[in-house]
Structure 1
Amino acid sequence: MEFPVHDTLSDESLKKGLDAVVRDGITSQIKMTLTESIFLIAFAVALGASNAVIGLIAAIPPLAQLLQIPSIVLIERTKIRRRICVLFSAVSRLSIMAMVLIPFVTPGIPGILLLLFGVTSHAVFNAVTAAAWNSWMKDLIPQEILGRFFSKRLAVQALVGILTTLGGGILIDQWLRNEPASLAPYSIVFFVGMVAGIIGVYFIYTIPEPRMIIESLNQKFLDTLRRPFQNEDFRKLMMFSAAWSFAVTLAGPFFTVYLLEVLGYDLSIVTGLAVLSQVTSMLFYQWWGRLSDRFSNKSVLRVTTPIYVVGMLLWTFTTVPGIHMLTLPLLILIHVMLGQSAAAVNLAHGNLALKLAPRGESTSYLAGWSVVNSIAAVMAPLAGGIIADSLSDSYLSFRLAWQGLGFSFDFGLIDIRGLDFVFLISFFVGLYAIHRLAIVREAGEADQRTVLDAMLAQAGRGLRTLSTVDGLRHSIVIPLAHALRSSRSQARSTETSESEKEDTSSS
């Protein structure tokens, strides 16, 4: 098997390569949907895993990402990133077989141990792949189309994830209706995910690789590791990334547990909410991609991270103090908010790291960024599991009560217990992450108001197409069009003043 590298890529070769990146994204999404996220957590719950074990399962993949540090040496010595991606991703995806065999070999506590082994093996080899992949994509994809390309790839992946989640959810739900204690449907789902992942290895092999540029070949390994932390702009990004990763992974792994265990919903409802979130993400990916290319990645993040943080806080209101008539509508609202904001964060956050990583040093910079994210993502779910188990019998309640004048009422405003504490802490850490984002610098960033105006203008154009109520349509579209014209005129006046300053200085 040969792995040639190219000094230059023709337009045709680049197009075929980008198409292969999208195809790999499709197969990888099937693999991730079926072997990670809700199906993996539901399987662990079915095996009898505690919140602490759930946190450990969520912590293993980011912990394995620390292997990106020694991977830098391997990548910079071999300089053939495609070979590393093909070999290590193949082993990573074949290791899913350990999870496939659990229902037939050893359920119960030994099954949980085998599950941890399978998750660990998959994550370890995938971490080496990720280090090579990030550097490879940095050199392959032209920066001027970065946002649009990845928004397209993510939108396609979101659609595939929706269909895969529905298919897997229906299979497991229907099977469990006839055999409630069976683990076999999870084995089938994991096997299909493994096969899809192996097919993706072929698509990775067909992607062309530009010749790797290394500007610091003679530097020592420790100096290579220090470079991202010595760059002030990139260091600020890593501070934000660490805080944001901690906030998201503190609560995220327990959403499925909360729906299954606390609210008592069937897997069909859980997968339905997941699909709703994925549909929302899919609808917004290309929208956010255009905005990030037009303004900047940071500008998009400043608008969308607060939406995600508020969505995490709303989880605490789904039981006040128990399940109520607004629980399901509130969950629908939460998944819409998290879906549309996650689309922007996933796209803009990664693109911001790619943009700030200097060419020729992207391997060490992106590996350092991933390691910082990984450390936070290891600590967060472990802490979340411990907090949830430790505070399972504790609660904090605020009530509004009245008695007098012939009537009385007693209404629970806030009732926090168990996993609610995890969601609340995640909210406050998310607020701190937004504070860290404010000091990150990116060339070409626009102010928050300008991005909001553009968002509303695009929403207005959508309403003009979708709304059947003419009065409602015009009442929204006309003010939004005015806002967009105002922002454009402001931008033109800014450009004019800047050009006048340049003329004055040159004269």
Structure 2
Amino acid sequence: MDLGLKTTVTAIPIELQTDEDDRSTTLQRIPTSEIRRSLKASSIDGVFAAIFSNLTGGVLLSNFLVDLQANSFEIGILAAIPMLSNIVQPLGAWWGDRLQSRLWFCSGIYLPSRLVWLFLLVGMWLYSQHQIDDRTMAIWTMLVVALSHILGGLGSATWLSWMAALVPRQLRGRYFGIRNTISNLTSPIVVAIAGFLVASYPSGELAGFAIALAVGLVAGIISLICQWQMVDVNPQDRLRVGTNKMKERSPSAAVAIVSPPESALATIGKDPYFQGFLWCLGAWTFALNLSAPFFNLYLLQDLSIDVGWVTLYNSLTSVASLALLIPFGRWSDRIGNRLPLVIMGLVMTMLPLLWLGVGKDSLSLWVGLPLLFIVNGGASAAIDLSINNLQIEIAHKHHQAQYFGIAAAVAGISGAAGTVAGGGLDLINPVGGLTSLFVISSILRLLALTPLLLLKHEGERSFLEQLLDFNWLARLTDRSNSV
């Protein structure tokens, strides 16, 4: 079975449609009012999805594992599960492209991936009744997390391809910036409230986390209901529309030639720019996740900071994203995605070294830690937005979902390898521990950014060449494209 198999029909003598022709054709067939309604519904979907993801993961789930006496290697495994689940994204993309509805496919994937959290609530009840021990509960938790993310991973590339068909190219940076901002407006409030609920709940942290988990599950279902207010997209339409336009352009052509099908993997093999992007993405996610999942563990376990304060610090990450996503979105529309990616990447390179300077003193608790989380939130938001837009920009027109899926799989494998390696290094190096891990991660992050300076698409200058001519400064201050 060939992933990404697609037959293209060409007539003689015609030029193939460009990528923008395909997308503009899709948008022209959908009324503007329907597109606006869909994008509003997607923004609301993002709010409830953010509630779900924050209450079923992040620091709350890490704290639950710490209470179960999990070690750093097991915390690393837990952090690796969402990334490893990206391996199934190419399969989900291939599957979704052979159906006739993005909406039905996403609903059929995401509904069971969220309902599976009911099993964790059952396990927590059994644990509260002393019918299972700490070790069994920890394994139970990781199995639920794995099943949920594997199912969800099947739909991620298809959802992104759906959004790529609905969002006009010239508005992508701003729209995704606004959508993520709205989501992040909810996250700090939810994380802070949930953190203090878990820490101070009268019946104990277990009961508090169970309530937070139940609320998150309800929010996850509501987010799927919002998707039903969006315009559905049939992935088969692109081929049919392309064929009809070729017939209109060449009505006298008596014979159409069916070109040999080419898989997504074969197309990627001829695309050195995307290959270079995959190498950069893989190296970066490995270096990033070598230490990132363990900072909360460092605060909870090594510094013994209360979970309520840790969740409050984490909420500052969302506040920073909220403040900076819209400006970053506008800047990326004007100057491209690689400049913010490199600059914010350098900021993220320094962060692990700065973590080494915090402690339990008042200056760290009231100034140092809040600043670190704010910087982390702003830089991470810019990097995520730039990577997302860059993927949409360079994806091949006939294999969008497969490109997204393969990129996610590469990021997932390398990121998971980073978390597992980080947990293992902490266990086998009792002297240096997390301190040496943070130093190694900072060095690897810097090395991972270097190839991005020289990476360039066919016919364009490298990022370094574009940076040195300073034309990006004029585009950055140009307000002619503001909306």
Give the distance between the partners of 2:146 and 2:450, measured in 1 at CA. Answer: 34
Query: Distance in 2 between the 1:170 and 1:450 partners?
Result: 48
Match of 2:441 among 417, 426, 450: 426
1:164 Cα shift? 0.6
TM-superposed CA distance for 1:452, in Å, is: 9.0
Q: Would you say 1:268 and 2:308 are equivalent positions?
A: yes
Determine the C-alpha separation between the residues in 1 that align with 2:372 and 2:337.
24
- Percent sequence identity is 25
Deviation at residue 219 of structure 1 after TM alignment = 2.9
TM-score normalised by L of structure 2: 0.82
- CA offset digits 1:438-468 (Å, max 9, x no partner): 123366965278599689x9xxxxxxxxxxx
Is 1:143 aligned to residue 162 of structure 2?
A: no
Query: C-alpha offsets along residues 276-329 of structure 1, whole Å, 9 cap, x if unaligned?
Result: 22111110011101110111011111221101111122112225xxx5564333
What is the TM-score with the length of structure 1 in the denominator?
0.79
State the alpha-carbon separation in 2 of the partners of residues 451 and 174 from structure 1. Answer: 54
Distance in structure 1 (CA, Å) of the matches to 2:100 and 2:175: 25
1:441 aligns with 2:456: yes
- Among 79, 85, 101, the alignment partner of 1:58 is 79
**8 Å CA contact retained: 1:236, 1:439:** no
**Mapping 1:79-478, distance limit 5 Å:** 79-106=100-127, 107-175=133-201, 178=202, 182-212=205-235, 213=238, 219=261, 223-318=263-358, 323-324=360-361, 326-328=363-365, 329-391=367-429, 393-394=430-431, 417-441=432-456, 446-447=466-467, 450=470
Q: 1:422 to 1:22 in 2, by over 3 A?
A: same
SS in 2 for 1:78: coil
Return the offset for 1:365.
1.1
The alpha carbon displacement at 1:375 in A equals 0.9
Q: How many residues are paired up? A: 423
Q: Distance in 2 between matches of 1:14 and 1:387?
A: 49
Deviation at 1:218, TM superposition (A): 6.1
The worse-fitting range, judged by mean Cα deviation, of 251-260 and 441-450 is: 441-450
Change beyond 3 A, Cα 1:377–1:452: same
Q: CA deviation at 1:120?
A: 1.0
Query: 1:410 aligns to what?
Result: none
Contact 1:159 1:282 in 2 (8 A): yes
Higher relative contact order (CA 8 A, sep 6+): 2
The structure-2 alpha-carbon separation of the partners of 1:451 and 1:168, relative to structure 1 and needing over 3 Å to count, comes to: farther
Q: Tell me, which stretches of 5 or more residues in structure 2 are unaligned?
A: 1-25, 128-132, 243-257, 479-483
CA deviation vs aligned residue, 1:139-176 (integer Å, no higher than 9, x gap): 2211110000000001111111011111101211221x
Counterpart Cα distance in 2 of 1:339 and 1:226: 37
Match for residue 13 of structure 1?
34
Instruction: Judge conservation of contact 1:69–1:225 (CA < 8 Å) in 2.
Output: no
The CA deviation at 1:389 is: 1.3
Partner amino acid, structure 2, of 1:351: N
SS in 1 for 2:261: coil
Structure 1 unaligned regions, length at least 5:
395-416, 458-483, 489-507
Structure 1 or 2, whichever has the larger Rg, is 1
Letter in 1 for 2:175: F
Could you tell me which amino acid in structure 2 is paired with residue 275 of structure 1? S
The letter of the residue matching 1:288 is: F
Task: Look up the equivalent residue of 1:378 and give its one-letter code.
Answer: A
Which amino acid in structure 1 is aligned with residue 436 of structure 2? F
- Tell whether the 8 Å contact from 1:304 to 1:345 is kept in structure 2 after alignment: yes
- Alpha-carbon offset, residue 224 of structure 1: 2.2
Question: For 1:343 and 1:171, how far apart are their aligned partners in 2?
Answer: 27
Distance, in Å, in 1 between the alignment partners of 2:314 and 2:469 is: 31
CA contact (8 A) 1:250 1:381 kept: yes
Match of 2:15 in 1: none
Contact kept? 1:9, 1:210, Cα under 8 Å: no
Aligned to 2:30, the other structure's residue is in SS state: coil
Mark the CA change 1:157 to 1:217 in structure 2 (over 3 Å): closer, same or farther: farther
The Cα offsets for residues 99-139 of structure 1, whole Å up to 9 and x where unpaired, read as 22232113511111110111011101100110211221122
Task: Pick closer, same or farther for the CA change 1:448–1:346 going to 2, 3 Å.
Answer: farther
> Which residue number in structure 1 is paired with residue 3 of structure 2?
none
- CA distance in structure 2 between the partners assigned to 1:44 and 1:69 by the alignment: 31
CA shift, 1:179, in A, is 5.1
Contact 2:94 2:402 in 1 (8 A): no
Within 2, Cα distance between the matches of 1:252 and 1:342? 11
Aligned to 2:324, the other structure's residue is in SS state: helix
Measure how far apart 1:190 and its partner are: 0.9
Cα distance in structure 2, aligned partners of 1:75 and 1:439: 35
Name the aligned partner's letter for residue 219 of structure 1.
Answer: P
Deviant stretches of 4+, over 4 Å? 214-218, 323-326, 442-446, 448-455
Tell me how large the CA RMSD over aligned residues is. 2.4
1:229 to partner: Cα distance: 4.2
Where 2:356 maps in the other structure, the secondary structure is helix
Cross-structure match for 2:11: none
The 1:452/1:100 distance shift into structure 2, 3 A limit, reads farther
1:264 match: secondary structure: coil
Q: Using a 3 Å threshold, how does the CA distance of structure 1 residues 287 and 127 change in structure 2: closer, same or farther?
A: same
Amino acid corresponding to residue 214 of structure 2 in structure 1: F
- Helix, strand or coil at the partner of 1:48: coil
Provide, for residues 408-457 of structure 1, a one-character-per-residue CA deviation record: whole Å limited to 9, x for no partner.
xxxxxxxxx311122112111110121022123366965278599689x9
Question: Which amino acid in the other structure matches residue 422 of structure 1?
Answer: L
TM-aligned CA deviation for residue 58 of structure 1: 0.9
Q: Return the alpha-carbon distance in structure 1 between the equivalents of residues 88 and 196 of structure 2.
A: 37
Give 1:192 deviation, angstroms: 0.7
SS of alignment partner, residue 97 of structure 2: helix
